[in-house]
Structure 1
């Protein structure tokens, strides 16, 4: 098998038992794309799965597996079902052509055809596939749009609504199709607005405005809409397109602020009085819903000196620009920022996590943005200013606290930040402050560890019931230069929170694949497999499937020796999309394991939909197995369920002979834990298990 490197954008696969025909087709198509080929039809499907071609050319008459049967097998693969297949053969009879097209081919061409015809035919079908892919992307974008999209015919009858239209209105697609958009009217949109709408549409223009509509449940909502005519090439209007955004909350907030009329005259921000009113509402909401919020006090460092040197006019310009930056660059639309007077600002961050430590991390992220934003240079009247700020952060849940007390605590904490040297933030709670400072230091060190390749992977062995080594789980380790080994439970969540986990996870996968290839080439290690934990953030990344496919091709591993461990939390959100992604990887040959099984909340109906190969019994059940009857029942149930579903069941956290004997008696056949072996670096692991096929645990 060989290939010719031409164009990286397009991959073409040729399957023909005639090497001469392959040479001719390769020469014809060398300018169209990168050509892969094989003369062995039985290996063609595996090759197609590994390279995922954009186009396939098949011969019909081949030994062992003919082209028509191969075509059907290819089309049955999820990852290959959309790939165009063109038969190039000596057969010209109608029956053969009919069978070929029925099997899923797009066309049928004779081997003696003009080379220009073959090349043109391939290029045309590739262009059609590209057009189809673009249309599918457009359809997905419309279906997944955060705006409501409605298309009507020329008479105003609804022909299409996207899911957001259903969500916003409360009506299902079936209830809306065929209806007039008046179905949503509340009677509160002015007649003049409708007159302007139809005047614009009939003259071929787009209308922009707002509707006050009514949902199916009777509640009103406000939508900002762009309604446009859809015309044919000759200018004839055939449909109307409405793109609408729900602005109810935004409008109500604006109306309330306008009604109160309590703004700071310089910055147009809410003033102290409005901040107090809003804070009173937030405190009440926190008490009802048991979530945290934060009050931030911000003071510009040494602002008085700027006023004294350059005058209040420049000072006012600086304050106005800072207020604009804070609103645009640091805060969500629902967050409240107020000017309290002079160079002091306050921010209310609502709806933080119920977990106070998580809420502190969320508030910390906002505080860091504020500090960075304020330190950006300001230039007025050719004068460049460099400012810093001091922040005080008070987290609250609303219990037994009034507005004035919350303000006093945030204000006092801000002065602590000034006393600590300025250009920093402090929390009212000293313990939270210490934890935040440690996290900041740890994040800096972690970024350095990633860039300087200080992370490494260890391997914990896995054994079967006969105590034979079958594989290992890949575990990420970080040995800090000063603090020693940092627990994964501490730095992996930090990596997920700070957006580092995707790059780290990809590095782990590549390192694991390279090591797997090395071990699989050693005598006695041919069937050895590696299990790699995949973070939910990494698995949901849009490029995860393509990245892993490229890694498999690059490293040349056998995909069925790679096991991806996912947790139940990964599949709790967006089950259908997760299953689709798992099936795409399954088609490559990759296997899946459900890690920490039994600790999540996935239902059995969800479980049976997942293309799993393995369940891992969480170590929390194994730990008390010998003394807790409930854990024994749970473990027995998981083992029986896994076996009935045809899944391998592996118990992790096995630390002593008693646990092993219990598990073995209940039918468990695969094990992992300290009793069998601790995680080791690759070289030490290989040295310890050189005689893997004969290794017996010294019990």
Structure 2
């Protein structure tokens, strides 16, 4: 009894010593990528089963942990050199025990398994003859697998790798035929690399934490003590960690790769049984090992998330894994000997029995999709069934693997719906048109024609802007319903998106194709023109329709028809909307000309073929007070191109932005040049800016930058805007014009009177000048309405204390009328055509010399 007390006291003293020595330590721990046991997650944090275990132990022992990233081989070498205090997830071997120290209580048990591509069909170790297998360098798997190969006399080339992902990648790209990993990693990641588990399983091993030999015995003792305590308590943190990391999330449902895995698992069962009997006859001394392998195999089959079963020739169950038993809520004794009619509904049982009999009768494997119903549950399964043969080659049973793909089927259907159908209207979308309907255009009979209509709702933006998007969506659904009522025969309605629809009509008679299409277009216009009624208002709209036809089966693709119909639709919009336009080759010619003009503009911008001309602006006495800078293009082949021709192309192509920047910079450089001459220093220069420039967030900053770069005086620069630029976002326009005024730049409203001309916004804008549009000036002497508008603009300018200038003044009579009405600044051919800066300077010099006649208008 005293001896026992002495022993207990010594044990307690030793434990306290271990705890004291191990406490307050900072341990450097090696971490390599081997999910789920140990790895760095996406945020670069150490994670995994071993990390959680060590963190829990460190918390108990008062340790601080520092984690060091390294691959497997480097981690071991760092451990050997003492650069690491601790290495998790190390399998014990006598060879390693000569180099490293291990604790006694295993942290985890594992085994190794081979993984390969599904088409490799590896089911036996003998199939590895002369093949390449990737294995982790300096791992215990390498040594164990080498011993296994030697025992069976199989010649295999082992290819060393630094990590499991590298091993799987090499198999995926065909650099090796198979890879060895632990079963935990393989279960998680094999499918990601399109690999399947093979039936080749070996080397169950315990896993430990390891240290350099003789370096940290107190740490290993503390780990042993902690693991021993935890493993005696089922509710300890040790078992919580195991449950959390070994309860893996469900694998993705069936894919072609998984089917290969299931086939391999099925073959595993068959081969394993055969291997057991063969090994008993050949290697009697390995009987015990084979029994352990059978137990492992049963464990593996029970852990597979699929139904694995064996049925005899009459369809009665001979074997079922845990998944089958749990699904039917039966024990093994309750299920064995029964057939499907005892557990499933009659219809399902008949379908399954038909497939089972086919496998038995044909003696060939069968992969089939099956519908299974039991109780209130119904699902879709992929079943792989292979015949089992006896020693005489006779089929005595079948082995099957059935995997639930119900959720995958539902997901595929949802993905298909999202990919090919519009959520607003439920109609097929553009992807559906080109992926599923192109063959109807391509593969039609020679005497059949095709009509493609592109339908665009006119001014659709109005209902969204003024009534809200919910009404816009309602309108689209109603348009969809109306257009569907027109479909007949082999016709399809597509919602391209936004406010555009397509009707594709195939199988039409070529002889009457034009008349049939015209009739359909008229029906579309008539039906969509009818009013749309809501509880609180009624809406009317029209549609523009572009039609493209093909009466020759050897001519035109769907893509060509689509482009032609869209071109025709845009032409219908240009010519007034609410009408039909059929594609013609002339449209293509115009488009080609426009594209060529755009291409030439891009070259000319870099070649500096553009130049500015200046039209004088004069006061009531005819003295030049400023000028307007106007852009011209000297085309290398066509000569000078009219702005009316190239400006719309520049705006639609986005080239207006670099052109606008060039105009502003060139004009400011001219202003700076004028400031150096007493004759021209007082001149102002007006520059038109595009809507693209004005709406950009850095508009004001860009003007400041140009002024700073060129040295131009801001008070001599006048920016001309049109009314349409202001209305889209009035608050933004006010902010920008105010900012320009703050730096001294004046802002003029060009073409005033042709747009909105609303006092509601005009009084809020800090403008410097209103410009009477030349369309009013041309008619002031003959049209009372034009005269009244001009007088109103002049009076408005006086009321707002804003200068007024009239453009397009060509006669003395027009100038005198404007002067009498109070307009004291003019611009037009009466005072000079747009010309070079030198010409303007000469005219200014002539005026200074006393010449009073206005320049000839020619």
TM-score range with shorter-chain normalisation?
0.3 to 0.5
TM-score (norm 1): 0.44
TM-score (norm 2): 0.37
Pick the structure with greater CA Rg: 2
